[in-house]
Amino acid sequence: MTVRAADVAAAVRAGTTTATELLEQHLATIAQREPEIHAFNLVMTDHAREAAAAVDAKVAAGIDPGPLAGVTVALKDNMCTRGVPTTCSSKILDGWKPPYDATIVTTLRDAGAVVIGKTNLDEFAMGSSTENSAFGPTRNPHDTSRVPGGSSGGSAASVAAGFAHLALGSDTGGSIRQPAALCGVVGVKPTYGYVSRYGLVAFASSLDQIGPFTNSVADAALLLDVIGGHDERDSTSIPQVHPSLTDAITQGVEGLRVGRITDLPEGADPDVQERLEAAFAALRDAGATIVDVQVPAFTFGLTAYYLIAPAEASSNLARYDGVRYGLRVEAADTNAMYGVTRAAGFGDEVKRRIMLGTYALSAGYYDAYYGKALKVRRLIHDDFERAYQHADVLLTPTSPTVAFPFGDKGDNPFAMYLCDTYTIPTNLAGHPGMSVPFGTGAHALPVGVQVLAGTLQEPVMFRVAAALERAMQ
């Protein structure tokens, strides 16, 4: 039975266990399985022990350490940690130590959490399998011959393998939800602006959003309640207080309308589609009404995304030039240094997306490609908004397949991009989405069902997710 993070924190605050004891249990599990899984780029053993000791000292002094007292959290290695390497799994940032913490790192510390390590990812969050890391791939804890998904594969694997109670990832086109589905854990992409992006190394700034990986919907609600909220250092942060998701998950789904997208792009494997139909049935049994809706522009999400995201990446990654931080390869002059540094520091997928984005933004092509993609993005948003007039949430597969073998899609970038068919449109719309484990498919591997909702409709989304979770118990 899954132990809830809230129960762990309550035990630490009550003194029936200590943060140090919990940390050492996780470190022992990491020592046992990390060599085969490679979920982490860095296990922060010393920092974590100091943080756990500080929590225990507060408890001993009669001070409440916070709602995540002693709870271990793994961070995707694109979130800045002061004085601790933040690499984005790229050679170009190998060994770079930020001079500041991301907002979510400060928030976690203030809530009593213990950050246990920095997790592996596809380089600069560009990928769907965590095979693009400069430091080697992460393996799926359920079957180490298969990928954990990406780009937040290390975070998903760390929770699935029991290395940490909770983890955080970033989702630009499905990078939380897809690995959550493949690893059999809960993964949430909140509404754009729900969680501060200050200190998140940018891939595509209008799409990136931080969110949780957990073993239960309740834990995801708790973690999002802690890290959500306005941050004046992030100009895209929503300036309002969010309602409690922990309270929402107890409310059930009686009377809610769950949308079935009738024009959803085909491509999901039969075993995945079977679990989706079972999810609809479970929600109907729980009192929800299933309604048919259409989202016509959904099918254009993939093509629009792979113009918009690379264009933003081309701009964001221009800062890695060997001058201010990170890798520097010496050359005869400055321009030559730029070229050889970026050639040596970036991997193939990052180079591919930089080139694609630069082309889409270039004179003569901007309107035809990037400008048109922005118009399609608006159509996707509007189509979703119309659908939410008839349904409170929408249900889709999270990933078209279960976890696939290493190398299965590596030689075909388009086949890899198709992994995000069902997740990308939500990022373009800025809406929330989450993946909930809902049984197994081929090879007895996990299948995730995706719950989608409108802007700031996280409470209703979590109600549906909790009902799906209860149906599997």
220-244 pLDDT tens trace:
999 999 999 999 999 999 999 999 9
| pLDDT for residue 365 is more than 70 | yes
Please enumerate in sequence order all residues whose Cβ is within 8 A of that of 134, keeping only pairs 6 or more positions apart, or say none.
87, 89, 90, 91, 94, 123, 347
| pLDDT for residue 320 is more than 70 | yes
Nearest to 346 by CA among 306, 313, 311: 313
Token pair belonging to 391: 């349904």
Unique residue bearing structure tokens 């729980």: 286
| Residue 74 · residue 84 · CB < 8 Å | no
CA distance 373 to 100: 35
Give the CATH number of domain 5-248; options: 2.40.420.20, 3.40.50.800, 3.90.1300.10, 3.40.50.300. Answer: 3.90.1300.10
Q: Is 97 considered catalytic here?
A: no
The per-residue pLDDT for 3 is: 84
Strand ranges across the sheet with 114-119: 40-43, 114-119, 72-76, 166-171, 209-214, 186-189, 433-440, 446-453, 393-397, 257-261, 289-293
The per-residue pLDDT for 2 is: 73
- Polymer length in residues for the chain: 473
- Give me the mean pLDDT over the 374-385 stretch: 97
The per-residue pLDDT for 412 is: 85
The per-residue pLDDT for 410 is: 77
Q: How many CB atoms lie within 10 A of CB 263?
A: 14
- Which listed residue (175, 196, 237, 435) is catalytic? 175
Q: Is 244 considered catalytic here?
A: no
- Which listed residue (151, 196, 314, 435) is catalytic? 151
Nearest to 196 by CA among 243, 166, 245, 239: 239
Residue type (1 letter), 29: T
- Give me the mean pLDDT over the 171-179 stretch: 98
The per-residue pLDDT for 198 is: 98
Give domain limits for the chain.
5-248
| pLDDT for residue 1 is more than 80 | no
What DSSP state is assigned to residue 39? Answer: -
CA distance 1 to 102: 33
- Give me the mean pLDDT over the 130-145 stretch: 98
Q: Is 155 considered catalytic here?
A: no
Q: Where are the alpha helices (DSSP H) in 258-400?
A: 270-285, 301-316, 334-345, 348-361, 372-387
- Which listed residue (58, 76, 118, 189) is catalytic? 76
